[in-house]
Amino acid sequence: MDLVLTEDQEFIRKTAADFVEEKSPVSRFRELRDKQDATGFSRELWKEMADLGWAGIPYAEDVGGADMGFAELAVVLEELGRALAPEPFLSTVLLAGQALALSGNQALAKEWLTKICAGEAVLAVAYQEARSRYDLDAIETQAVKDGTGFKLSGEKVQVLDGHVADAILVSAKADGGVKLFLVPAGAAGLTITRQARLDDRNAALVALDGVSVGADAVVGDGALLANVVDRATVGLCAEMLGGMQQALDLSLEYLKTRKQFDVVIGSFQALKHRAADVFIEIELCKSAVMAAARAIDAGAPDTAKLVSVAKAKCSDAYVLATNEGVQFFGGVGMTDEYDIGFYMKRARAAELSFGDAAFHRDRWATLSGY
Amino acid sequence: MAELDDYRADTRSWLDENCPQSLRAGGGGSLYGITGGKKFNPKNPDERVWLERGAEKGLTAPTWPTEYGGGGLSKEQNKILLQCMRELKTPPPLVGFGLTMIGPTLLQYGNDAQKAEHLPNIVQGKIRWCQGYSEPGAGSDLAGLQCRAVEDGDEYVINGSKIWTSNADEADWIFCLVRTDPDAKKQEGITFLLIDMEQPGVTVRPIPLISGSSPFCETFFDDARAHQRNVIHKKNAGWTVAKALLGHERTMIADAFGVGGGGSRLSLADRARKYLPESADGRVSDAALRSEIAQMEIDSKAFGLTVQRSKDAAKAGHQPGPESSMFKVYGTELNMARHELMVRIAGPQALGWEGEGFEDEELQLTRDWLRTRGNSIEGGTSEVQRNIIAKRVLGLPD
């Protein structure tokens, strides 16, 4: 499990970097934000990304996937993170896709993974509630037995890409445990309201009022959901890694050109040392993300601990890189015109998804037996 | 693979036959390891036995060429050797600057005669080395050093002083940076010179530190002499050699400190259990300390993975960059933070200096913590390392 990119991974990285530079600069994200785009991302570009094989990277060939792993997926997500690309990777490929791929419900998995890999479906996972915080089990949504199926009632918040999803995987309490159900977008009793978040990513309130699903809608249980969220966390960390590197690159460019007191401000030691510290933290994140992705691919016994290392480090480092970034830029860093603010907002949103550093410290300690 | 398995089996049985029982299981040896040298006088005579057997087998310098008495081992074999020694919890048969600093430098820059003269003495633990870099007036600004060496026939005559010369009071030779051209640009008038310390012109004075007695010394040269054959690389080209050696030093410091090192035998959580009230659920009962312990372990893990990533990249043929500076900053600061945390976990029991009422380990922790405060100063301060990162990695201007 070497922490170095293989030739294939290096090729994927280059392809993704070129794609992002040509088709998805941050200005594209800014345009979507400015016009309050109803979809919030580009369906055409999403299709192109799927055609490049990215949506199917971790999925089997018989559903149209590439049968590769998180090591490869992380490389793509890192490049997309650099450009804040808002396409539905996290919701569709990482959360819903992983849930389906790990599910014993083969019929559902085959149907939806084929569409996911082809870029023909957007899916969402509704696991979060107003007071559940990061605890996947602390939910109030109920699944009540109804004949052979279930009736779902409850309210989910900040469901990523929920407003455009073709289907939503909903977690609910059933028989004392948690189960995950697939609910088609048009189901009766389902109300979806778009939410506006600081990072301008797509999110929605999902209200369920006695939504009926069959027994064949069950995707998995609470253990499956926890596993899925761990995997999605590594994907998010890869995105964060790209974002923090871009934030540092933007900062360095500014430090090398902005003049005050007749010299470029990057010559000031006070700023150099802050930049050096950001660099070091990013280097640690790189190693942590690579190790966590490879652990998932290898099914390593310490995977959960490595996921916590990655998320704890990336949460703090992305916030550091962007907080420092705004400070490096000075007054213009506070203006909407400069991109660094986008990264600071995204850093916060990412930090507070799937557990912040404090959450993962607690989890590390618990997993370590203290 | 089969060859490596054979090597492992052979190594295990050799170690089992040759490593003295009194040194196994982490006990019985000197705190700072087997140092060798003319003044080597261990309390436990088995240390000398282990040194001699290890040297004969080439295990004091396992990866050095066999022509100089090294083991000639491949990286894979060396890894196995280290694993086998860890299994037995034996100390290495020899430690010191000869192996970690001047040896690798001689292998890189020494001529054949210099290698033949010095490397076998290092490998056999006959000569102990110390380092003469810093001076009272040249710390972070190392290139500002003033210690003079003037040519006199076949020899150099040396006058000046060096500070922080670790273990100079027990060393036999010193590798020194000396000024040989006072008129040149400061980096260009420096020569890397080897000096025999057994002569009247060399005086050594130990320096007590805030942590108590220390291996650090100040070393004075009054008309001391060294033959010209002891110039490494070329006259006035010592800065090049010095930088290469500093790279070895930073790697060594990072390796020693970074990954959960720092002499702690108990895990941080077990330390906390020792000093804090028991909790019903087995958790560390102080939530704030528990979180700090977790952060420390997470940072250590991420740092260890980064060291691994750098090694994997080197193995894959990527050129190593100026990242040794990063390892130096983070490794040392992590070690310092770990000691701060251990002191706070021990609470008032960390306040002992000597005598009754404190365990030996608690007294040692106090001293160790004070000593770690120097980690971000020695071997290039954290600030100098951050400058190097800013300039050489991030491309920020002077």
Q: How far apart are CA B235 and CA B228, in angstroms?
A: 9
If you search the block for the tokens 């000046």, which residue do you land on?
B160
The number of folded domains in chain A is 3
Range A30-38 average pLDDT: 95
Q: Both A254 and A346 in a single domain?
A: yes
B387, pLDDT greater than 60: yes
Per CB-CB distance under 8 Å, the chain A contacts of B330 are: 280, 284
Q: Is B168:B222 a contact under the CB 8 Å cutoff?
A: no
Residue A1 lies in a domain: no
Question: What's the confidence (pLDDT) of residue B256?
Answer: 66
**B305: nearest CB among A275, A280, A287:** A287
Is the pLDDT at B380 greater than 90? The verdict is no
DSSP state at residue A187: -
Domain residue limits, chain B: 2-95, 129-236, 258-393
Select the residue of B306, B390, B394 nearest A284 (Cβ to Cβ). Answer: B306
Q: What is the pLDDT of residues B299-340, one digit of tens each?
A: 999 999 998 898 888 888 876 667 778 998 999 999 999 999
Query: How would you class B183 by CB atoms within 10 Å of its CB: exposed for 0-12, middle for 13-18, buried for 19 or more?
Result: exposed
Residues in chain B whose Cβ is within 8 Å of chain A: 269, 272-273, 282-284, 290-291, 293-295, 297-299, 301-303, 305-306, 308-309, 312-313, 315-316, 318, 323, 326, 329-330, 383, 385-387, 389-391, 393-398
CA-based nearest residue in chain A for residue B291: A361
CA-atom Rg of chain A in angstroms: 21
CA angle A124, A125, A131 (to 5 degrees): 130
Average confidence (pLDDT) over A77-95? 98
Helix (H, G, I), strand (E, B) or coil at A190: strand
Dist. CA A227–CA A311, nearest whole Å: 15
Query: Could you tell me if residue A2 is inside a domain?
Result: no
Q: Are residues A363 and A239 in the same domain?
A: yes
- Lowest mean pLDDT segment, chosen from A54-58, B262-266, B327-331: B262-266
Instruction: Judge if A50 and A157 occupy the same domain.
Output: no
Token pair, residue B225, equals: 């002499």
Determine, for residues B297 and A368 on separate chains, whether the beta-carbon distance falls below 8 Å. yes
Q: Which one of 3.40.50.740, 3.90.1170.30, 3.55.50.30, 1.20.140.10 gives the CATH number of domain B258-393?
A: 1.20.140.10
Mean pLDDT computed over B162-180: 96
Closest C-alpha to B332, from B384, B266, B262: B262
| Mean pLDDT, residues B135-154 | 94
Residue B1: pLDDT band (50, 70, 90) is low
Residue type, B205: R
Stretch B67-78: mean pLDDT, rounded?
Answer: 93
Q: Minimal Cα distance from B314: which residue of A?
A: A4
Q: What is the pLDDT of residue B314?
A: 82
> Is the separation of the CB atoms in A125 and A228 below 8 Å?
yes
| Residue B323 bears catalytic tag | no
Query: Which pair of structure tokens corresponds to residue B197?
Result: 């310390």
SS3 content of chain A, % helix, strand, coil (to 5): 55, 15, 25
CATH number of the domain encompassing residue A266: 1.20.140.10
* Section B86-98 average pLDDT: 91
Q: Would you call A172 helix, strand, or coil by DSSP?
A: strand
**A306 within a domain of the structure (yes/no):** yes
User: What is the C-alpha separation between B286 and A234, in angstroms, rounded?
Assistant: 30
What is the structure's pLDDT at B33? 86
3-state helix, strand, coil in chain B (%, to 5): 50, 15, 35
Q: In DSSP terms, which residues pair with A208 in a beta bridge?
A: A154, A190
User: Quick one: A355 and A251 in the same domain?
Assistant: yes
For chain A, give the mean pLDDT.
97
User: What's A208's DSSP letter?
Assistant: E
Nearest alpha carbon to residue B342 among B254, B274, B240, B242:
B274
Q: If you measure CA to CA, which chain B residue comes closest to A269?
A: B387
Domain co-membership, A232 together with A208? no
Q: For the domain that residue A66 is a member of, what is the CATH number? A: 1.10.540.10
Same domain assignment for residues A216 and A131: yes
| Cross-chain residue pair B301–A288, CB shorter than 8 Å | yes
CATH fold, domain B129-236, is: Butyryl-CoA Dehydrogenase, subunit A; domain 2 (2.40.110)
Compute the average pLDDT of residues A161-190: 97
Per-residue DSSP letter, B34: -
Handedness of CA B195, B199, B202, B204 (dihedral sign): positive
Residue A103 is assigned to a structural domain of this protein? yes
In a domain, A78, yes or no: yes
Q: What is the pLDDT of residue B7?
A: 94
Distance from CA of A324 to the nearest CA of B (A): 15
pLDDT tens, residue by residue, A222-261:
999 999 999 999 999 999 999 999 999 999 999 999 999 9
| Domain of A128, in residue numbers | 124-220
In the predicted structure, residue B264 carries a pLDDT above the cut 60: no
Beta strand residue intervals within chain A, DSSP E: 123-126, 142-146, 149-160, 167-174, 177-184, 190-196, 202-213, 218-221, 259-260, 263-264
Report pLDDT for B321.
66
Query: Which pLDDT belongs to residue B258?
Result: 52
| C-beta atoms of A264 and B284 within 8 A | no
What is the domain-level CATH number for residue A213?
2.40.110.10
Query: Residue B263 has what pLDDT?
Result: 47
Interval B142-146 mean pLDDT: 94
Give the mean pLDDT of A267-278: 98
Q: Evaluate if residue A135 carries a pLDDT over 90.
A: yes
User: Which residues of A have a CB under 8 Å from any CB of B?
Assistant: 2-4, 252, 255-256, 264, 266-267, 269, 271-273, 275-277, 279-280, 283-288, 290-291, 305-306, 308-309, 312-313, 357-358, 360-362, 364-366, 368-370
Whether the pLDDT of residue B27 is over 90: the answer is no
* Helices A303-329, B287-315: inter-axial angle, 10-degree rounding: 90
Q: In this structure, are A108 and A187 located in the same domain?
A: no
Whether residue A323 sits in one domain with residue A238? yes
In a domain, A14, yes or no: yes
Q: Are residues A52 and A157 in the same domain?
A: no
d(CA B146, CA A173): 76
pLDDT interval class at A220 (50, 70, 90): very high
- Which residues of chain B does A275 touch, with a Cβ-Cβ cutoff of 8 Å? 390, 394, 396
- Kindly report the nearest CA distance between residue B329 and chain A, in angstroms: 9
| Rounded to 5°, angle at Cα B250 from B246 and B256 | 140
Chain centroid to Cα B325, Å, comes to 16
Q: Are residues A44 and A133 in the same domain?
A: no
What was the pLDDT predicted at B253? 66
Of the residues A220, A240, A272, which one is the last residue of a structural domain?
Answer: A220
Long-range contacts, A14-20 (Cβ 8 Å, 24+): A15/A52, A16/A54, A16/A75, A16/A76, A16/A78, A16/A79, A16/A80, A17/A79, A19/A48, A19/A49, A19/A52, A19/A79, A20/A79, A20/A80, A20/A82, A20/A83, A20/A85
Annotate B150-168 with DSSP letters as a single string. Answer: EEETTEEEEEEEEE--TTG
Between CA B68 and CA B87 the distance in angstroms is 28
Please report the pLDDT score of residue B236 as a whole number.
96
One-letter amino acid at A302 equals D
CATH of B2-95, one of 3.30.70, 1.10.540, 1.10.3470, 1.10.8: 1.10.540
Q: What is the pLDDT of residue A78?
A: 98
pLDDT averaged over every residue in chain B? 91
Strand partners, A160: A203
Residue A265 to chain B, least CA–CA distance (Å) = 9
Which residue type sits at A232? A
- DSSP codes joined into one string, A331-364: GGGGSTTSTHHHHHHHHHHHHTSS--HHHHHHHH
Cβ atoms of B296 and B338 within 8 Å: the answer is yes
How many angstroms separate the first and last alpha carbons of chain B?
A: 51
Answer whether residue B29 shows pLDDT above 80: no
Amino acid at A13: R
In whole angstroms, give the CA distance from residue B165 to residue B174: 9
Q: How far is A234 from chain B (nearest CA, A)?
A: 15
**Annotated catalytic residue, options B47, B249, B323, B333:** B249
Read off the pLDDT band of B261 (50, 70, 90): very low
Of A171, A189, A220, which residue constitutes the final position of a domain?
A: A220
Q: 């019985």: which residue's tokens?
A: B28
Q: Which of A65, A87, A121 is the last residue of a domain?
A: A121
- Can you tell me whether residue A80 is helix, strand or coil? helix
Chain segment B3-24, per-residue pLDDT in tens: 899 999 999 999 999 999 999 8
CA A148, CA A159: separation in Å to the nearest integer? 27
What are the beta bridge partners of residue B177? B192
Name the burial class of residue B66, with classes exposed (0-12), middle (13-18) and buried (19+) by CB atoms within 10 angstroms of its CB: exposed
Tell me, yes or no, whether A306 and A354 share the same domain.
yes
The reported pLDDT for the residue numbered B320 is 64
* Res. A203: pLDDT tops 70: yes
A33 lies in the same domain as A132: no
CA distances from B378 to A256, B101, B134, B245, B373 (A): 30, 15, 10, 14, 10
